[in-house]
Structure 1
């Protein structure tokens, strides 16, 4: 079982409406009782710049949870 999720989504992502549809992830997590932190990032798209900007946050988030599980 997934304990919780962290997702960053660029609001300027050209795939947002047609493919990514974060609202469906929100609904699925709510239905399954999985806490979701969905951070919508204004001005970001689907590029390397977007990924690299938030990578450190994601690594720290996972490291914190892994240390709690140990």
Structure 2
């Protein structure tokens, strides 16, 4: 299952957190997983593994300021 969170930055723009794409059996697509932190997957999406996305959702309070470099 892919975790997706729609986070409002302002009324005109949205940001998303998405996991690494998976195949039909739910396994990570290795070529995509290997690109995490190396190559952007889109224009603004923050791509994380499912465990990392779950940790952020469970550990970081809503409204916490985040700086993305």
Provide the TM-score with structure 2 as the length reference. Answer: 0.30
Higher normalized strand content (fraction of residues): 2
Structure number with higher relative contact order (C-alpha < 8 Å, ≥ 6 residues apart): 1
Please identify the structure whose Cα radius of gyration is greater: 1
Provide the TM-score with structure 1 as the length reference. Answer: 0.30
